[in-house]
Structure formats: structure tokens, C-alpha cells
Structure 1
Amino acid sequence: MLVTGTLEDGSAYQVRIPGQGGSPVTGSRRVRALVEQYAGTPVLLDPLGPRRSLDPADTAAVLTLLRHKTQVVEVR
């Protein structure tokens, strides 16, 4: 999955979320650090739930975190 967006300071990013063990995202060190910082914390996958702990190998949880902490422009 390829995600394009902007960070809080307006910097653009484009990352790939592989959904496998190892690196949670590739393409941006800042986004990877953000995902690693929130690993293990609960995230809501939808406004009403379910709530899951952020696992860097969980593509849906990583995308949800990016939608909450950054402005996602495009998902392919």
C-alpha cells in the first residue's frame, strides 16, 4: 500500500506500508519514527471501534495512525 500525505509542519511524504515484520513503513524516516513511537498503543480503526494495539505489521492500524496524526492525501 502506498500512502501520500503531509506532516504537521507541512512536509510532504510518500511511504509504502508493507504489512510485514521488520520496518513498518519505507520511504520516510520521520513517518517510520512516528509509527515506531506509537507501537503498542491503542488506536481506533473506526470512529466507534474496534480498538487495537498498534502493531507495525498491521496495515490497517498503521494507516489509521497516519490518518489521525498526519493529513493523508492519497492511498493506493
Structure 2
Amino acid sequence: MLATGVLEDGCPYQVEITGRADRPVIGSARIRALVEQYTGKPVLLSPVGPRRELDPGDPQAVLALLRQRTHLVEQGG
């Protein structure tokens, strides 16, 4: 799954969310560090829940983190 967005400082990113815990994203070291930083912390899978601990091998949780911590512009298969 591809995700494109902008970090808080205005830096654009594009990553592939892999679904692999050992390498959850490909394409941006900053996004990889963000995923590592929030691993095990709760994220909302949608604006109203449910809440789940971030597992780097769960693409939906990684995408939810990007929605919450960056300006996610586009997501696709």
C-alpha cells in the first residue's frame, strides 16, 4: 500500500507500507523512525475508534499513525 503525505515541517514523503514488522515502511527514514517511536503506543484506527496498540506489522495501524501524526494526502493499493 502506498501513502503520500507531508510531515509537520512541510517535508513531503511517499512510503510503501509493507505489512512486515521487520520493515514496516519503505521510502522514508523519517517515517520509519516515526513508526519505531510509536510502536506499542495506542492509535485510533478511525476518527472514532477503535483504539489499538501500534504493531509495525499491521498496515492499518501504520496508516492510522500517518493519519494522526502527518498530513496524509493520498493512500492507495
TM-score normalized by the length of structure 2: 0.94
- Residue matched to 2:5: 5
RMSD: 0.8
Q: How much has 1:51 moved relative to structure 2?
A: 1.0
- Residue matched to 2:53: 53
The answer to whether the 8 A contact 2:4-2:73 is kept is yes
- Residue matched to 2:34: 34
Q: How much has 1:44 moved relative to structure 2?
A: 1.2
Q: How much has 1:48 moved relative to structure 2?
A: 2.3
Q: Stretches of 4+ moved more than 2 A in 1? A: none
Compare 13-22 and 43-52 and name the one that shifted more.
43-52
Partner Cα distance (2:9, 2:74) in 1: 18
Q: How much has 1:20 moved relative to structure 2?
A: 1.7
TM-score normalized by the length of structure 1: 0.95
By percentage of residues, which structure has more strand? Answer: 2
* Identical columns (%): 63
Partner Cα distance (1:46, 1:7) in 2: 20
Number of aligned residue pairs: 76
Gap regions ≥5 residues in structure 1: none
Partner Cα distance (1:13, 1:27) in 2: 8
Gap regions ≥5 residues in structure 2: none
